[in-house]
Structure 1
Amino acid sequence: MSSSMRVVQLVRFGDPEVAFAARELPRPAPGPGQVLVRVMATSVNPLDLQTRRGDYRDQVALPAVIGNDVSGVVVETGPGADDFQPGDEVWYLAPMFAGQGTYAEFHVVDQALVARKPAGLSHVEAAGLVLVGMTVWEALVERAGVRPGERVLVHGGAGGVGSVAVQVASALGAEVITTARTRDHEFVTELGADTAIDFSAGDYVPQIRAMGGAHVVLDTVGRDTLSRSPEVLADRGRVASIVDTPEPQNLLAAWGVNATYHFVFVSSGRTKLEALGRLVDQGRLRPVIGAVLPLADVTKAHVLLEGGSIGEGRSRPRGKIAIAVHPLDQSTHGTESSDGEG
């Protein structure tokens, strides 16, 4: 095995065309309680865009390898790392802003954060589910505490996070309402949505109020969603938001329905991945992969996620944009244009 590895480094904050550079770096070695993983696939998330733009410049020292999703194969274990052995297929969320990201051929991680990859998922599929899946689980289960029979409103059900949220909420036994453009209604219904509302065609609030309101609102889009949530919430409803919203929000109406707000920034850990893996094994959760690009095309992946075009009619896809790092997992998926959020 070579002592070096290919990476794509963030070398300056700003536009994707000038932000990244391909480099060779020394291959890391696992320390006590750690495993060295050959990264078969990773993916690009809105967090990556924010990091590249410089939103977290105080926490990111350049040059830096960014990225957080990993699906791969254990190739070496450190002292005391007895949970895994070389050859095990694993998936995990790399700690955020820890100085070593996943736009790389190899990655070192504490074994406590790692879970075994569901056998029914390819590495590309698994990588596309890690961060979004863990975010949804923390928002809907650990924070909002969705219960069977409740109505859950998922904003942006055709997006990367929303498409997973619709499936998880349905698997929890909830009645699922989602906002999506009309062209995506069939798609979100197939995922498990009971009602789809075109947010671009008019005000969604009257329709949801007529249904008795939502017990839980998942905000994946930002804008005025937080301030308008009390208009659709049932009494003692809960709002979980994964969007950092710098604009002031008027939440006075939340008192009228005894609302609870949760602001979610997901943490790494094995427990959430194991729960998601069980849903995958049961056939109740599947990743939505809209595009797969090689590691050398990280710049193109960022352009796509921001809604740009990279030629051949390829624009922002529905679902996740995955990065196939090693040739063994260079599977291809069709790219479908969508304005879904997340």
Structure 2
Amino acid sequence: MSTSRAVRLDSFGGPEVLDVRRVPAPHVGPGQIRVRVTAAGLNPMDWIITADAGTATRFGLSLPTGFGTDYAGVVEQVGDGVTGFAPGDRVFGGALSRAVADLVVVDAAGGAAASEAHHTPDGVDDRTAATLTIAGRTATAALAVVQAGQGDTMLIGGAAGGVGVFAVQLARLAGVRVIGTGSVASSDFLRGLGAEPVVYGDGLADRVRALAPGGVTAAIDLYGTETVHAARELGVPDARICTIAAQVDGVKPANGADAAPGALEEIARLVAAGQLRVPIAASFPIEQIRAAVELQAGRHVHGKVVIDL
């Protein structure tokens, strides 16, 4: 029986429960493709859903389970009835809590990040492609909630994080003026994305007011609730505020499942065209999965963290 490497958890918890194991190589069924993974992008969602049994159950996970969702790689096998994919095709997509592995099997028809594949455009490297699925969809969905467009001034909380790098650039492409919260150390990084940086913490609303005396018209909180409260203080109506990591009465949350059909392909096209860039903050070999997750979970990374396989 052939085997391959995969990150496995025998118990739910933090980075300390992550181990690299030899596991039986997965086989394709009808309508499926097997992908040899070259890179897997990490997201906060990965360690949130495997932190405890209650959260894992809501996502349909049971022990033992894998880790990570975003992947990129090359099609190795195709199952009966598959059209549109062939061995050797470069692909990217999602494999819910299975992506940090040499091999993943996903549904060729796809459509949801739990099990999907998309052709990787020429001009997009695998590390970058492996960062697009969760963060790109989430950013698109959040921008759709607040309906940001030409003439808007938007406050984005947590703008230097994995979702933030997409939200800032997509908003700028739509003609939005973006003010992004971050640490003092992230200021130059945010300017490079096209945002005007503002330091988070006490007095945020006053600092934003000084930057935008004409007012703020929309807000997305990608971290918690601080940006929501600042936006309300600045007079932004709840209908034009969105969260992704917290629930606030009156404010609509967004997640990647809400993204419009074709959103991910459009993001990949923008990357290929050089109109959107994805900063890779760090990359690690699979054997260093614990260190990679510890870095990502610290929530001070500017950009994305990727596992190389």
Q: Please state which band the TM-score falls in when normalised by the shorter chain.
A: 0.7 to 0.9
Counterpart position of 2:173: 171
Counterpart position of 1:244: 246
Instruction: After TM superposition, give the deviation of residue 182 of structure 1 in Å.
Output: 2.6
1:35 and 2:26 aligned: no
Q: CA RMSD in A?
A: 2.3
CA contact (8 A) 2:149 2:171 kept: no
Secondary structure, aligned partner of 1:72: strand
1:112 and 2:119 aligned: no
1:25 and 2:9 aligned: no
What letter matches 2:11 in structure 1?
Answer: R
What letter matches 2:169 in structure 1?
Answer: Q
CA contact (8 A) 1:144 1:262 kept: no
Measure, in 1, the Cα distance between the counterparts of 2:31 and 2:260.
15
Measure, in 1, the Cα distance between the counterparts of 2:236 and 2:100.
43
Measure, in 2, the Cα distance between the counterparts of 1:51 and 1:174.
33
Q: 2:253 aligns with which of 244, 257, 263?
A: 263
Q: 1:289 aligns with which of 280, 285, 289?
A: 280
CA contact (8 A) 2:216 2:231 kept: no
- After superposition, residues 127-206 of structure 1 pair within 5 angstroms as 127-141=130-144, 143-193=145-195, 195-200=196-201, 202-206=202-206
CA contact (8 A) 2:66 2:99 kept: yes
| TM-score between the two structures when normalised by the length of structure 1 | 0.80
| Count of residue pairs brought into register by the alignment | 297
Change (3 A) 1:236 1:104: closer
CA contact (8 A) 1:35 1:74 kept: yes
Measure, in 2, the Cα distance between the counterparts of 1:139 and 1:206.
24
Instruction: After TM superposition, give the deviation of residue 270 of structure 1 in Å.
Output: 6.5
What letter matches 1:16 in structure 2?
Answer: P
Cα deviation, 1:136-174, whole Å, max 9, x if unaligned, reads 112113x33222221121111221211221111111111
Secondary structure, aligned partner of 1:214: coil
Change (3 A) 1:20 1:120: same
Change (3 A) 1:277 1:57: closer
CA contact (8 A) 2:220 2:228 kept: no
| TM-score between the two structures when normalised by the length of structure 2 | 0.88
1:71 and 2:55 aligned: no
Measure, in 1, the Cα distance between the counterparts of 2:192 and 2:141.
23
